[in-house]
Structure 1
Amino acid sequence: MNTTILVTGATGNFGKLTIDFLLKKGIAPANISALVRDENKAEDLAANGINIKVGDYDNYESLLNAFQGIDKLLLVSGTDLANRMSQQLNVIKAAKEAGVKHILYTSFERKNETETSPIAFLAKSHIATDHAIKTSGIKYTIFRNNLYLDVLPMFLGEKVLESGIYFPAGEGKAAYVSRTDLAEAAANVLSSEGHENKEYAMNNIENYSFQEIAEAISKITSKEIKYFSPATEEYSETLKNAGVPGEYIEMFTGFAEAIKQGEFDSDKSDLEKLLDRKPTSLNDFLKNVYAK
């Protein structure tokens, strides 16, 4: 099978991991292209024989050139939140014009798609991208990724072992997943058939609250880690006084409230099937980070 695959955001964590898994699965480097903005950051990819395509989400012509001859395109969601929607719509339009046969997108798990969602500022671009992909006429696969296990240390803070967990998520639970597992599943889908016009629930097989996270870290470190869920206003004020930038406060409080409301609590998962094994558990992840 000489399917040509292109991965966007190829020098970022997710893109890089996906390319690594494609190579491990025996996909020839000549059949893999990496879309990057800065060629200098892609020297390791080029050294592995990956085709480097220089392109910018804001530059339509560069995307059109990069997508020529590509069968499958993995659109890794962008990080420029202010411009993400228009950038990703550019990618879809260019993919259609260039004749890309199948587009795969790293979207996110959610229940509330209205403006009342505490993370509407993040959700809007994902929802618009999902819709544009589904109505583009191109075959698609949408990954509804849950929150990364990898972001937990950021929510828990650097002093979690000294002062416990201070995060306004109440008793809300989420099916946190490892970014590495998600990238491996994406590579499995990219390198096989039968995934056309599907949406996959990329959740872990268990949901966890911050109380359970505190108990797990206590067990791992043999220290008593307490969980305290303050009111959102108090939490915002505390972060503000600690000099945390406003956009981070908005993001942290938004995610905390979404977790509290059960946005990421899920009883459905396609991840185990796509990996052909159990996903990395919360406990394994925390051990890796906090076990001495």
Structure 2
Amino acid sequence: MILITGATGHIGSAVIERLLQLTAPGQVAGLVRDEAKAADLKARGVQLRVGNYRDPASLERAMQGVSKVLLVSGGSDDDGLQQHYNVVDAAKKAGVGCLAYTGRALQNPDTLANPLMVRHFQTEDYIRASGVPYVLFRNILYMDTLPQFVGPQVFEQGIQLPAGMGEVAFALRQDMGEAIANVLADSRCDNRIFTFTGSTTYSFTDVAAALSELSGKPVAYTPIEQPTFEARLQAQGLPNAVVHLLAGFLTDIKNGQESTVSPELADVLGRPPTPLKEGLKAIFKL
């Protein structure tokens, strides 16, 4: 039995979709907070386990009879790291034989501008220290998040971000989910680390050029300074925490943190990951 946490989320649902193609539905379970919101999964034979990262007892109950658990990293909650620790502790207590985790592919944890990203490496350390056999997935920034960065007026106003000429080996969530499922369906769990990225890196100049070509509208990328970017978001009414989070992502891109390129995603998929132009066409429905 393989338990996927965050089963109704973007990456969790992508993993489950692929697992259902690789194994019997009765061997796939999804951790959810509310069964009613996962009726479609239940209808397809996915076992639903109710649990919450903040409730260790519920997690331990959800993991009974489970051989593998995929911990899909949580959001930006202040207690997010403790939530991860709770899942790891529950897996150990329940006797889970393999714990997998969706972390991040970043160049240097010691020089990150976005403190939220440090949490991934702290979680990895905690998993190692637990003694539970593990598989770690270090994922590059999802291509699917680009609309959040470029904004809803991208075709009218272009792209204005404090990312300099930093490059990212963007990959689609769908590709990531498929690859993660392929690994989870394998019987091995030998403390492996996979670095999942696209096959090449792209700057926001490349993103702008691809959007221009796909839409037929001129889209330009203009690098701006971080204070200008933050002031613009604050004027739009975004909370300071969100503003600083987005600025941190972009500063790390500018500093090359997201520029890792690994062949492992292509190897596990058995095909090249979706390239930028094709991915943007689907994301922006162009």
Q: Which TM-score tier does this pair reach, normalised by the shorter chain?
A: over 0.9
Encode CA deviations 1:47-88: one digit per residue, 9 max, x unaligned: 112111111111111111111111111111112431111011
Kindly indicate whether residue 125 of structure 2 is the aligned counterpart of residue 127 of structure 1: no
Kindly indicate whether residue 112 of structure 2 is the aligned counterpart of residue 117 of structure 1: yes
Asked if structure 1 preserves the Cα contact closer than 8 Å seen for 2:136 and 2:193, the reply is yes
Cα distance in 2 for residues equivalent to 1:66 and 1:245: 35
Corresponding residue for residue 19 of structure 2 = 22
| Matched positions, count | 286
Corresponding residue for residue 284 of structure 1 = 278
Structure 1: stretches of 5+ with no match in the other structure = none
- TM-fit CA distance, 1:124: 2.6
Corresponding residue for residue 97 of structure 1 = 93
Corresponding residue for residue 74 of structure 1 = 70
Corresponding residue for residue 207 of structure 1 = 201
- TM-fit CA distance, 1:268: 2.2
Cα distance in 2 for residues equivalent to 1:278 and 1:58: 38
- TM-fit CA distance, 1:245: 2.2
Asked if structure 2 preserves the Cα contact closer than 8 Å seen for 1:133 and 1:140, the reply is yes
Corresponding residue for residue 258 of structure 2 = 264
- TM-fit CA distance, 1:291: 5.8
Corresponding residue for residue 61 of structure 2 = 65
Corresponding residue for residue 13 of structure 1 = 10
Amino acid across the alignment from 2:249: F
Structure 2: stretches of 5+ with no match in the other structure = none
| Closer, same or farther: CA 9–289 of 1 in aligned 2, 3 Å | closer
Asked if structure 2 preserves the Cα contact closer than 8 Å seen for 1:8 and 1:34, the reply is yes
Kindly indicate whether residue 45 of structure 2 is the aligned counterpart of residue 49 of structure 1: yes
Equivalent in 230, 235, 253 of residue 229 of structure 2: 235
- TM-fit CA distance, 1:193: 3.1
Cα distance in 1 for residues equivalent to 2:244 and 2:257: 17
Asked if structure 2 preserves the Cα contact closer than 8 Å seen for 1:221 and 1:290, the reply is no
- TM-fit CA distance, 1:267: 3.0
Asked if structure 2 preserves the Cα contact closer than 8 Å seen for 1:7 and 1:75, the reply is yes
Amino acid across the alignment from 2:251: E
Cα distance in 2 for residues equivalent to 1:244 and 1:59: 30
- TM-fit CA distance, 1:195: 4.9
Asked if structure 1 preserves the Cα contact closer than 8 Å seen for 2:144 and 2:283, the reply is no
Asked if structure 2 preserves the Cα contact closer than 8 Å seen for 1:220 and 1:291, the reply is no
- TM-fit CA distance, 1:30: 1.2
Amino acid across the alignment from 2:88: I
Cα distance in 2 for residues equivalent to 1:140 and 1:50: 23
Cα distance in 2 for residues equivalent to 1:202 and 1:52: 28
RMSD across aligned positions (CA) = 1.3
5 Å-filtered alignment, 1:219-230, equals 219-230=213-224
- TM-fit CA distance, 1:289: 3.5
Encode CA deviations 1:110-141: one digit per residue, 9 max, x unaligned: 12222x42112x12321111001112211111
